[in-house]
Structure 1
Amino acid sequence: MGRTVKNIVIVVTALVWLVPSYLLVVNSFTAAGDYTGTPSWWPTSWAFLDNVGEAFATANVGSGMVNSLIYAVLGALLAVVVAALASFAVVVMPIKRPAVWFWAIYVGTILPLQMFLAPLFSGYAATSLYDTQYGMLLIYAALAVPFAFFVMRNYMTTVPREMREAAALDGAGWLRMFVSVHLPLASSAMVAAFLFQFTWIWNDMLFGITLGTSPNVRPAMAALADLTSNYSNVGPPVVLAGALVASLPTILLFFVFQRFFTRSLKLTS
């Protein structure tokens, strides 16, 4: 009986979560001229490709997706490498007050991101980092480090101490121990951290609309925001079609690497 109730709750919850996605897909196929202002529950036209073309032409969504791909791949990769090095130092190396170092890095996941906007904007404007791709990449990589560090540090604590003692007896230094022993063992955790941070960077709009204005700099979500502000006359179906296409990379990433997402949830629990 309890199992049946649990399954029913899971199915109902899944359906509730799927309803907005279903409405997004259905209404993205509606021609902009046929949209009445009320969401349709059934397809009334097949203008999806036309809507996508208008979104790409009006707000440079395609350019934004390319920018997001650069930021998400390079930013997440840099963050994971830095997090792996920091985790190795905090967990394995005999540094003083490792708990203090842990909290000094991890606190970046606790503070609200909005509090960084004003100082970042002022600093970027003063150092010519504003509205540049490397400026965006820098902030995304920096903000992705704390959570990646949390995942990597949790995994490093599970590596048996005897392994590093054996490596030390064989004459391995800290760098060799990190590269040859801990890094291969932590590959799954690194992939999981990369996937999480890739998804976060790809879906970010806050820093995209604050630290960039040019089409060749702004990420995909900032480009989509233009469709509902400066270019609001395109109509909701165009916005929905652009949003659907822009969300495809993270959806595909989740399904391809689903087992790493599941494993990462165990690592962070």
Structure 2
Amino acid sequence: MRRSTFGAWARGVTLVVLALLWLVPAYLLVVNAMTATEDYTGTPLWLPHSFALFDNVATAWEVGGFGPSMRNSLYYAIFCAGVAVLVATLAAFAVTIMPIRRPVLWFWFVYAGTLLPLQVFARPLFLGAVAVELYDTWTVLTVVYIAICVPFAFFVVRNFLVTMPPELVEAARLDGASWSRMFASIHLPLARPAMAAAFVFQFVWVWNELFFGITLTISPQVQPVMAALARLQTDGTAASPPVLMAAALLVSVPTVVVFFAFQRFFRAGVRSNL
């Protein structure tokens, strides 16, 4: 009894420490983002000396030109993550439910896309985009983001589908249901928690993605929001640290909103993969 109590106490302390390690940087970001530029001393402030958050956000929005880039990232994150999750669900259904040959081989063929560093794809994607005249277009980032998001979403949804009882498939086949009808009427509704969890993961990844955003595009009308944030820090606009932190806080809002909007499905989807 004492050993189990000590284990529970140790886990609780560990979780509190990990939560503090995550919350302290977030707290410093918020406190310094709301500090007026003239009150910023050059070192991180632990207590707010003033409240100029909205002024700093307005300055960052105007100087950084976040309007087009926020619109671009919303499109990339919502559309690309949504299409990738749907494609991944179809692939997971085929590998897990349908009687295809060598399902393990197909699983690794799709999942292998997550095993290589993204920098490996930079040169061929850049040269290919230039060759087909898609460099610096919405199309090239849309295709790349969808392709990169599919493997991990496939892994999440596939792990959920393997837990479903095989009697569902047998009963549906006895009733004469086709594979497409079975997917649309049975497995797709049941897989919604896993799909929602995969969507949250991929939305956050696409929203925070910077490497391909600055490798395959150059114009602000096409680049994602993280490219605009990087440009605000490096283009010599002399934006103060509070303004930069307010901009970082601003661009993180959509990911927080999506997480809380999908948290019920996210928890259910994550539990199904544990």
TM-score (norm: length of structure 1):
0.95
Query: Which residue number corresponds to residue 4 of structure 1?
Result: 9
For residues 59-97 of structure 1, the C-alpha deviation after alignment (integer angstroms, 9 at most, x for no partner) is 222321111110111001100110111111111112111
Deviates more, 1:50-59 or 1:147-156: 50-59
> What RMSD in Å do the two structures reach over aligned CA positions?
1.5
For residues 130-168 of structure 1, the C-alpha deviation after alignment (integer angstroms, 9 at most, x for no partner) is 111122111111100000100111111122212112111
Query: Are 1:261 and 2:266 counterparts?
Result: yes
Query: Which residue number corresponds to residue 31 of structure 1?
Result: 36
Query: Are 1:108 and 2:108 counterparts?
Result: no
Query: Are 1:123 and 2:128 counterparts?
Result: yes
Structure 1 residue matching 2:238: 3-state secondary structure = helix
Percent of matched pairs sharing the same residue: 54
Structure 2 unaligned residues grouped into runs of 5+: none
Structure 1 residue matching 2:222: 3-state secondary structure = coil
Query: Are 1:68 and 2:61 counterparts?
Result: no
Query: Which residue number corresponds to residue 234 of structure 1?
Result: 239
Runs (4+) of structure 1 exceeding 6 A deviation are none
Query: Which residue number corresponds to residue 135 of structure 1?
Result: 140
State how far apart, in whole Å, the 1-side matches of 2:227 and 2:150 are: 22
Aligned pairs for 1:60-209 (under 5 A) are 60-209=65-214
For residues 205-237 of structure 1, the C-alpha deviation after alignment (integer angstroms, 9 at most, x for no partner) is 111111112112111111100111113511211
Provide the aligned length of Structure 1 versus Structure 2: 269
For residues 94-132 of structure 1, the C-alpha deviation after alignment (integer angstroms, 9 at most, x for no partner) is 211111110011011111111111111111111122111
Query: Are 1:13 and 2:18 counterparts?
Result: yes
Structure 1 residue matching 2:152: 3-state secondary structure = helix
Query: Which residue number corresponds to residue 48 of structure 2?
Result: 43
TM-score (norm: length of structure 2):
0.93
State how far apart, in whole Å, the 2-side matches of 1:191 and 1:10 are: 25
User: What amino acid is the match of 1:156?
Assistant: L
